Amino acid sequence: MPRVLVTPTMLHQQPGPYRDALDAGGIEVVYPPTPKLPTSEGELTALLEQCGPIDATVCSVEPYTREVLAASRIRVVARVGVGYDSVDVAGASELGILVTNTPGANRDSVAEHAIALLLAVAHGYPARDKEARSGVWQRNVLPRLAGRTIGLVGLGAIGKATALRAKALGLTVIASDVQPDAAFAAEHDVRLCPFDELIATADVVSLHLPCTPDTIDLINADVLGRMKPGSILINTARGGLVDEDALVEALRSGHLAGAGLDVFKVEPLPAESPLTELDNALLCPHMGGIDAKALSDMAQLAAESVVALHNGDWPEGRVVNAELREGWTW
C-alpha cells in the first residue's frame, strides 16, 4: 500500500474530503508527529526519514529541493495550492517525480483577501485602529477609493476574480499580463497595458503572478519610485516578487501611502523585520488562499491527483511538469 505524507498544518489529523479520497484510493495516510511545518531542507529530510517510507506528499510550502527529493522515494509532490516555487521542479523532473498543483481552487479566496487588504489600507488601517485604541481621535480625511485606478499585474484566474470585485467597488481596472485574455478584458472593460504604463498610472498596484527567476524582485526600488505618489501596493501572490528593503523605504518616506502584504520573502515573517514597525503596512500570515472552502477544495484536488496517478490516470491541467507524461509510471 502506498504511503502519503500530509503536511499542511491545518489538515493535521483532520478528516475531510481529501482524507476520504485517499482512503478510498487505498492509500495509507501519514501525518507528521506534530503539526509544525518543516522550513528547511534538513527538517524536511529528517521528517521524511522519520515518517518513511513515503511515496507521495500532499504538501504545503516546505522546501522540496533536488537534494531532499533524491534522498527519498517520493513519486508525486502534490501541492495544496497554486504556487509551486517551494518545489525544485527541474530537479523533480530529472528524478522522474511529478509535481501537481490545484489551479483555480483558491481563486475566490485570494481575490476576496486582496480586496479586503485594499479596503483596509485605503481607509487607513492599521494606523487608525492603533490610534483609536490609544485614545488618539484623529479623523484625517483620505481619498475615496471609488473612481481611482487599480492595476493588476497578472490577469490569470485570481487576477480576473479580483478584477470583477474591483469593478464592483467602482474602480477603473487596468492589467498587465504576458499572455492576456483579451476576450475577458473586453467583456469586463479591463484595459490591457504594458507593465511600465500600469506602474505609472495605477493608484493601486495588486500582484497576481508567480514568482520565477524572471519575476524575483519585480517590485524593486526603481519600480516603486515610478509608482504614483500616494499609491498603494497589495501583494497576495508571492513574497519574492517584492524587494522588501526598497518597499520599507518607500513606505517610510511616504511615497507609498500604504501596503497590504499577505506574503513575504521569509515566512514566517521575522519579528525583527522593519515591516512590523510601519503603521502604513498591513500584514497577514499568508492566509489569502486558505479560507475554509478553498482549503477543503485544494486538499481534495491534491489528494485526487495522487490517487489518479497511482491508478495510472492523468489529472488533466494539474501536473506542472507534464512533459513527463509519456512513459511515466508510479
Active site residues per annotation: 238, 267, 286
Taken in order of first residue, the domains within the chain and their CATH numbers are 3-105+290-324 (3.40.50.720), 107-283 (3.40.50.720)
Averaged pLDDT in 10-residue chunks for the chain of 330 residues: 97 97 98 95 97 96 97 98 94 98 96 98 96 94 97 98 98 97 98 98 97 95 98 98 98 98 95 97 95 96 98 98 96
Three-state DSSP string of the chain: CCEEEECCHHHCCCCCHHHHHHHHCCCEEECCCCCCCCCCHHHHHHHHHHHCCCCEEEECCCCECHHHHHCCCCCEEEECCCCCCCECHHHHHHCCCEEECCCCCCHHHHHHHHHHHHHHHHCCCCHHHHHHHCCCCCCCCCCCCCCCEEEEECCCHHHHHHHHHHHHCCCEEEEECCCCCHHHHHHCCCEECCHHHHHHHCCEEEECCCCCCCCCCCECHHHHHHCCCCEEEEECCCHHHECHHHHHHHHHHCCEEEEEECCCCCCCCCCCCHHHHCCCEEECCCCCCCCHHHHHHHHHHHHHHHHHHHCCCCCCCCECCHHHCCCCCC
